[in-house]
Amino acid sequence: MATPTFTNIVPSGGNEGFGLDSVILATKVLNGTAVLDPGSMSDAQGANLSITVTDAAIGDFVLVSPGVDLQGIVMSASVISANTVGVRLQNESGGTLNLASSTWKAKVIQDGL
């Protein structure tokens, strides 16, 4: 089996992308940060937060990194509207948890396939 080759590729559109064996996997990676304070959440309670990421579009891939330990809180994220990454937190720990205010990072990957 051949070893795959990861490369930086400049597609015809001019945006640098990331590729594997000359197949473009992502044409653009966008970044955003926000200082978020989810506050105290009792068991079975959730919170919706948002991070602005310029040029993000529904259907893009999203990675989010909180600035604190989630202490067992479940997190999901997606682009919920143009330029906005929505982060959903859900406390199912059995107790009350309070995440401190911190800087959260979002990375949006626009599909090159």
Q: How do the domains of the chain map onto residue ranges?
A: 29-111
pTM for this model (two decimals):
0.80
Q: Which residues pair with 106 in a beta bridge?
A: 32, 64
| Record: fold of 29-111 | Deoxyuridine 5'-Triphosphate Nucleotidohydrolase; Chain A (2.70.40)
Q: 48-101: per-residue pLDDT in tens?
A: 999 999 999 999 999 999 999 999 999 999 999 999 999 999 999 999 999 999
Q: Which two three-digit tokens encode residue 106?
A: 């979002």
Residue 7, token pair as written in the block: 């490369």
Would you state the structure tokens that stand for residue 84, as one six-digit string?
A: 């906005």
Q: Distances in Å between the alpha carbon of 29 and those of 17, 40, 68?
A: 8, 32, 23
For 102, the token pair is 């911190």
**Token pair belonging to 92:** 């199912």
